[in-house]
Amino acid sequence: MGCTRLVYNRALAARTQAWYERQERVGYAQTSSLLTDWKKQAELDFLNDVSCVPLQQGLRHLQTAFTNFFAGRAQYPNFKKKRNGGSAEFTKSAFKWRDGKLFLAKSSEALDIRWSRAIPDNAEPSTVNVKLSPSGRWSVSLLVDIEIDPLPESPNSVGIDLGITSLIVLSTGEKVANPKGFKAKRAKLRIAQKSLSRKQKGSNNRHKSRLKVANIHAQISDARNDFLHKLTTRLVRENQTIAVEDLAVKNMIKNRKLALAISDASWGELVRQFEYKCDWYGRTLVKIDRWFPSSKRCGNCGHIVDKLPLNVREWDCPKCGTHHDRDINASKNILAAGLAVSVCGANIRPDNSRIKGQLQNTRKGKKQKPKS
C-alpha cells in the first residue's frame, strides 16, 4: 500500500512540475518510464519487492484523474496521505484464485479473509482491490462477471419524494423516517475530535485518537449504507416501476442551513443504488426533471399554486378544495409523471443520461462556460 501511494505521489509531482516549468503534459507512458528508473535507484530499491501491477494501476488511475480534470469533471488531483488509508488494484496476472482462496502476487500464503458473502459458483475474479480504510480496517473486493436473474414482474409502481424529516415518502402514503445517523453520533464525534486536537502532532497518542475519530466516522457510514441498502432492495423487489426526482444535490448543499441534514440523508447514494439495482433485476427507474412542480401541483385537478414555502406541510387546493399532505401529494405527482414517461416517452430530456426518460426542462438559461 505504501509503495502504491509513493509511486502515485511521485508521478503526480513529476507531472505538476513538468507543466509549471516547461508547460509540458506528461502522460501515462512517460510516468511508466519514470517508474522503471525509480526502481533502479538505491533508495527506492524496495519497489522491486512488491508486484508491479498495483504500481502500474496507480499510474493509470492518475491518468484517469487528469483526464477528468482536463474535461472539467473533477478538480486537480491531490496527493495521497498515509492517514487516509489507500488501495491497491491487482489485475488477473497479479493474483491466483484456487479452491476459494486468494493468493496475491509475491505472497506465498493465502489471504485470511472473513467473507461477507459467498462467491457464485464457477465465477472467476478478474480484478482484486485491496483497501485500507482510515480506521485501520482492511477489505478486499473481487470483481466477477456473472448473469443476474431478473425478478418476477410486479404489477406495482411507486413514486418517491425525497425529504429530510421523512427520508422518503411513497405514493402509497407510507413515510420512511430519516434515521439521521450523523446526528446520533455527533456528540460522541465531537468529544473524540476535541481530544484529538489536544494531542501533540506525531505522537503515538495522537495516532490512537485519530483512529478513534475514524472509527466513529466508519460507524456512521456503515449504519447509513446498511439502512439504504435494505430500503432500496425492498422497494426494488416490490415495484416494477420506480419514479424519483432528479435533484441537484451538489447545488442544494450550498445552503449552509440545510447542508448537514441533506448530506446526512445521502439522497445521491439512495438514487445511485436504485439505478444499478433496477438495472440488475429488470426494473424501470424513471428520473423526473428537477423543475417539475411536484409539490405545488394539485394531484386531483392539476392546479399549480404560485408559492408553497417549506414550512407549509399541508395545504388546500384553491381550485377544487382538496386537502393535501405536501409530501404524499408530491410523490403521487412524481408517480404520474414517471408513468407518463415510461409509457409514452413524454417530454424526454435529450441528454446523455443513462436513465430512461426525464421530463423536459422548459426553463431557459445561459449555458455555463467550461472550467479552464
Mean pLDDT for the stretch of residues 95-114: 90
Please give the pLDDT value at position 350.
35
Question: Nearest 5 degrees, angle CA 62-CA 64-CA 68?
Answer: 120
d(CA 156, CA 242): 9
pLDDT of the residue at 352: 42
Section 132-155 average pLDDT: 92
The residue-averaged pLDDT of 299-319 equals: 86
246-262: average pLDDT: 88
Q: Is beta strand 95-98 parallel, antiparallel or unpaired with respect to 86-91?
A: unpaired
Quick one: average pLDDT of 189-212? 95
Confidence of residue 271 (pLDDT cuts 50, 70, 90): very high
User: Among 149, 155, 101, which residue's Cα sits nearest to residue 128?
Assistant: 101
pLDDT over 80 (residue 356): no
- Dig out the grid coordinates for 218 from the structure: 466508519
360 band by pLDDT with thresholds 50, 70 and 90: very low
Note the pTM of the prediction, 2 decimals: 0.83
Give the span between the Cα atoms of 211 and 43, in whole angstroms.
30
Q: Residue 167's closest CA among 256, 255, 273?
A: 273
Report whether pLDDT(364) > 90. no
Q: What is the DSSP letter of 306?
A: S
What's the sign of the alpha-carbon dihedral 150, 151, 154, 156?
negative
Q: Residue 131 in 3-state DSSP? A: strand
Q: Number of C-alpha atoms within 13 angstroms, CB side, residue 70?
A: 7
Question: How many Å is the Cα radius of gyration of the chain?
Answer: 25
Cell numbers given for 362: 422548459
pLDDT above 90: percentage of residues in the chain: 65
Decide if pLDDT at 148 tops 90: no
The model's pLDDT over 55-89, given as tens digits with 9 standing for 90+, comes to: 999 999 999 999 999 999 999 999 999 999 999 99
Phi–psi pair at 282, nearest 5 degrees: 75, 30
Q: Is the pLDDT of residue 199 over 90?
A: yes
What does each C-alpha distance from 178 to 168, 219, 224, 233, 325 come to in angstroms?
8, 17, 10, 17, 18
What local confidence, expressed as pLDDT, does residue 366 receive?
41
- With 60 as the cut, is the pLDDT of residue 244 above it? yes
pLDDT at 246: 87
Mean pLDDT, range 266-287, rounded to an integer: 94
List Cβ neighbours of 237 (8 Å cut-off, separation of 6 or more): 151, 154, 281
- pLDDT averaged over every residue in the chain: 88
Query: If we measure between CA atoms, which residue out of 263, 283, 259 comes closest to residue 273?
Result: 283
Counting residues of the chain whose pLDDT is more than 70, the rounded percentage is: 92
The model's confidence at residue 344, banded by pLDDT at 50, 70 and 90, is low
Q: Does pLDDT of 367 surpass 80?
A: no
Residue 218 has pLDDT above 80, yes or no: yes
Instruction: Give me 161's grid cell.
Output: 419524494
pLDDT score, position 372: 41
pLDDT tens-digit readout, 169-188: 999 999 999 999 999 999 99
pLDDT at position 146 over 90: no
Catalytic residues: 161, 245, 327
> For position 7, what pLDDT does the model report?
96
Nearest by Cα to 125 from 141, 109, 112: 141
